[in-house]
Each structure stands twice: as structure tokens, then as C-alpha cells.
């Protein structure tokens, strides 16, 4: 199944061909991806599960339209399927409860009916998604390649760690774009590491396995990758921040025909998940006019802080955003365990002077600790009657086997 498209194919998606504006389709994709990430974060799902659900979401709408399938039920069904694929399943009713807390009762109208009917709707959508993607469930993400490539770079460990954290954040935010439909995860990881290195002023001058044929560090992994291609991917991620900051809060639900219409008039999906701190004034003023985002401050987690516009003043006074945990709260990737016993679990040591208890004495008429079974009945030892004469003739008279030699003769030596 081909899952990578040209830009002109993305500009002619089924939704756009059905009359939906390109900007609105991009916004619906962002809102669906954010919806998946918000539910996954609230239910403590792994980052791989959320990323897999977002990829299913983007692939689904390359065959169907937002007019026929509302984004919120489809996004929830994609996450429900991704939980099964990544072996982190959750109950559908639990996911619906979390979804109601995130988007509210008004937008839950797009699911239709009560929780029981909502569960049936999600499971029906799950089967439609499976048929749409042709049961191609395996998805690779840039996170694996990001860590793999970072281990090959040489330089200052502190600055390298800062660059990797920034690139990890860019990969998180790239889920709201269509990069997963344009390029392989290896290329996306290299491009966002290149962007993070430029912003953090970390220049890679040496790496493991370098030879005369490698002009840049990524030449060791991908051939014929140009700077123009990397900059195009980087600008798609940076454009995501400018679109999010300049986007209005008004919501325009799609005129769905198969599912119920979303009649809400206010949407907070474009403003990002709750709890994201606003952009400090000095960082917003220091943003260059070339579209390069400022460095990510320490303590950000999960998404770039300047990716969302600050909430209105009345919302800040009513409910201040809680502080986010530091980036270091992410558990570091652990190497797989390839056999052997952990220290202290290699076996049991007997104390000195310990002896096993003596065996019990043999029972009368037995042969050791196990009692002897009674002899079989005599009828079992009766001789088997011979076969009739006509059944002993195994070969016809003209097919009798040759007689066996009286003495084994060794084979003659080869001539």
C-alpha cells in the first residue's frame, strides 16, 4: 500500500475535491491530531500509541472526506485501534468519558446518542478504518531514528542533549502536519534534528563511522538528501506555529451527511491542550522575520510552548494554567534485555551445613519410594492366536521377495 503522496496530491484530497477549503481541511487535521494527543495523555497512553493513531487519522482522510466522517469520532476510533495495535488497549467507554471531558457535551453530539450508541459508532468506525487502510497496521515513527542517529553524533553532551530534546519536541508537533504522508520517518527525523541543531547552535562536526565519502552526518544513513529538502520539511513545521498563533477561535463544523452535524459554535482545539504556558513577551519579540522559531525554554514538555496563542485575559484570571513538569520527567529509553539473570537472581545459595532430609523408607513389596503396582491380569498375557493361512500370504506367488543371504557379504570395492 502506498502511503506517501506528492504535495499536489495532498492539495487534491477527497475533502478538498468535495468543496472544503484547504485551510479548513488543515485545521481539521490539526484538531483531530490534538484530540488524539489530549485523550492519550489523559489516559497515560504511550507516545507511540498516540503517534500511531494520528497516522491512521491522516491516512483515513486521504480516502474519505470530513463532510462524510466527523473528525472527533474518527480520531477516537483511530486511537482505539492504535491502542490494540501497540498492545496498550483501553475500554471504549472510558475513552468516551475522557473525550466528553475534553470537548464538552455540545461537540459530543457528533458521536450521536448515549454512551452505548457512541461505543457502537466508534466500533463501526474502527471497522471502516481497517478496511480503508487495507489492514496495513504497522507504522514506524521518527522517534526511534532520532535516538539512533543521536547516539552516533559527537560533541558536547549537554548541548547534544538539548538539541535532541528540541528535536523530540518538533517531532511531537509534526504530528499535526501531513509530513507522515510525504516522507519516511528517517527523513523527518534527520530534518528536525537539523532544525533543532540550527536553533540550539549545535553544529555537528564529527560522528561515529565517518569516512571520506560522508560530506554531512546524515549521508551515512540516507543518500542524496539535499539541504533544500531539509529546509522544506523544517518550514512545514515552523508554519504550523504561525498558523496556530494567527488562527481565530471560531469553529466551523463540517456539514456531515452520514453522521450527525456538530452544532457547536466555540472550539478550543486550535488553542492547544490546557495547561500550556503562554509565550513570554521577550521570546515573541525576538522571533526573526525569516520564520525561524525561538529556542525552546527549559521545562517545556510534550509540545513547543510557543505553538499556541496565549489564552484571553479573562481565562487567565479564572483558571491559571498549572505548571508543566520538566522535560527530564520523560523516562529515558532503556536498552532491551537480551537474556541472563539480573544481579541477585542468578540462583539460590544454600546455607553452610544444610542437608536435604533423608528419603522415606521403601514400602513393603515396593521398589523404593513409589509403591509397586499390582501385576496385570493373566488374561492380558494370553498368547495371540496365529493368523489364518490366507492372511499370512503377504505377497503373491509371482512377487515373492528374494531369500536373504545366509551370511552378510561386504560390498565389493569400487573399481
What's residue 332's pLDDT? Answer: 45
What's residue 233's pLDDT? Answer: 95
**pLDDT profile of the chain (415 residues), mean per 10:** 90 95 94 96 95 97 94 95 96 93 84 74 95 95 95 91 95 96 95 94 88 88 91 93 58 41 37 40 38 41 42 50 50 41 43 55 49 53 58 52 63 73
What's residue 414's pLDDT? Answer: 76
User: Of all helices (H) and strands (E), which one includes residue 69?
Assistant: none
**At a CB cut-off of 8 Å and minimum separation 6, what does 379 contact?**
none
What's residue 327's pLDDT? Answer: 44
Q: Which residue(s) pair with 83 in the sheet?
A: none
Q: What is the DSSP string of 136-197?
A: ------HHHHHHHHHTTB-S-HHHHHHHHHHHHHHHHHHTTTTGGGTS-HHHHHHHHHHHHH
CA 123 to chain centre: 20
What's residue 215's pLDDT? Answer: 87
Q: What are the residue ranges spanned by the domains of the chain?
A: 7-139, 142-225
The three-state secondary structure class of 369 is: coil
What's residue 212's pLDDT? Answer: 84
- Output the nine-digit C-alpha cell for 234: 523544517
Residue 129: C-alpha distances to residues 1, 29, 58, 78, 287 (Å): 14, 16, 11, 7, 41
Q: What is the pTM of this model?
A: 0.61
Residue 231: exposure state from Cβ atoms within 10 A (0-12, 13-18, ≥19): middle
CA 124 to chain centre: 22
The three-state secondary structure class of 250 is: strand
What's residue 26's pLDDT? Answer: 94
* Other CB atoms within 10 A of residue 88 CB: 17
CATH class for the region spanning 7-139: mainly alpha
- Greatest distance between any 2 Cα atoms in the chain: 112
Query: How many Å apart are CA 182 and CA 6, to the nearest integer?
Result: 6
Query: How many Å apart are CA 400 and CA 393, to the nearest integer?
Result: 10
Q: Indicate the angle between helix axes 22-42 and 47-60, nearest 10 degrees.
A: 150
Same-fold call for 7-139 versus 142-225: yes
Query: How many Å apart are CA 175 and CA 82, to the nearest integer?
Result: 15
Q: What is the CATH number of domain 142-225?
A: 1.10.472.10
Location of C-alpha cell 483531530: 32
Amino acid at each position: 500500500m502506498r502511503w506517501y503522496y506528492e504535495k499536489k496530491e495532498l492539495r487534491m484530497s477527497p475533502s478538498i475535491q468535495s468543496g472544503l477549503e484547504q485551510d479548513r481541511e488543515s485545521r481539521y487535521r490539526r484538531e483531530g491530531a490534538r484530540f488524539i494527543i489530549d485523550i492519550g495523555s489523559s489516559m497515560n497512553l504511550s507516545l507511540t500509541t498516540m503517534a500511531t493513531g494520528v497516522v491512521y487519522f491522516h491516512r483515513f482522510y486521504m480516502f474519505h472526506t470530513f463532510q462524510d466522517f466527523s473528525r472527533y469520532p474518527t480520531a477516537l476510533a483511530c486511537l482505539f485501534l492504535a491502542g490494540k495495535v501497540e498492545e496498550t488497549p483501553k475500554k471504549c467507554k472510558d475513552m468516551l468519558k475522557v473525550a466528553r471531558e475534553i470537548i464538552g457535551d455540545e461537540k459530543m453530539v457528533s458521536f450521536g446518542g448515549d454512551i452505548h450508541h457512541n461505543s457502537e459508532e466508534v466500533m463501526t468506525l474502527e471497522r471502516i478504518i481497517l478496511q480503508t487502510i487495507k489492514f496495513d497496521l504497522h507504522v514506524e515513527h521518527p522517534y526511534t531514528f532520532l535516538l539512533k542517529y543521536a547516539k552516533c553524533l559527537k560533541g558536547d553532551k549537554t548541548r547534544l542533549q538539548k538539541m535532541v530534546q528540541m528535536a523530540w519536541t518538533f517531532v511531537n508537533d509534526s504530528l499535526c502536519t501531513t509530513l507522515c504522508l510525504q516522507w519516511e520517518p528517517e527523513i523527518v527525523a534527520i530534518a528536525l534534528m537539523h532544525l533543532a541543531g540550527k536553533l540550539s547552535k549545535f553544529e555537528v562536526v564529527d560522528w561515529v563511522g565517518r569516512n571520506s565519502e560522508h560530506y554531512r552526518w546524515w549521508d551515512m544513513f540516507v543518500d542524496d538528501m539535499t539541504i533544500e529538502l531539509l529546509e522544506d520539511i523544517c518550514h512545514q513545521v515552523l508554519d504550523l506555529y504561525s498558523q496556530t498563533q494567527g488562527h481565530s477561535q471560531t469553529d466551523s463544523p463540517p456539514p456531515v451527511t452520514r453522521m450527525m452535524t456538530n452544532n457547536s459554535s466555540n472550539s478550543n482545539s486550535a488553542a492547544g491542550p490546557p495547561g500550556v504556558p503562554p509565550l513570554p513577551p521577550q521570546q515573541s519579540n525576538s522571533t526573526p522575520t525569516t520564520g525561524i522559531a525561538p529556542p525552546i525554554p527549559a521545562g517545556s514538555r510534550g509540545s513547543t510552548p510557543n505553538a499556541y496563542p496565549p489564552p484571553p485575559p479573562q481565562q487567565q484570571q479564572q483558571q491559571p494554567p498549572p505548571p508543566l513538569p520538566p522535560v527530564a520527567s520523560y523516562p529515558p529509553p532503556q536498552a532491551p534485555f537480551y537474556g541472563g539473570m539480573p544481579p541477585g537472581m542468578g540462583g539460590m545459595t544454600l546455607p553452610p551445613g544444610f542437608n536435604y532430609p533423608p528419603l522415606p523408607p521403601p514400602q513393603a513389596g515396593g521398589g523404593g519410594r513409589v509403591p509397586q503396582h499390582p501385576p496385570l491380569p493373566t488374561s492380558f498375557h494370553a498368547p495371540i492366536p496365529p493368523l489364518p493361512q490366507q492372511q499370512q500370504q503377504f505377497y503373491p506367488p509371482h512377487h515373492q521377495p528374494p531369500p536373504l543371504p545366509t551370511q552378510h557379504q561386504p560390498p565389493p570395492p569400487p573399481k
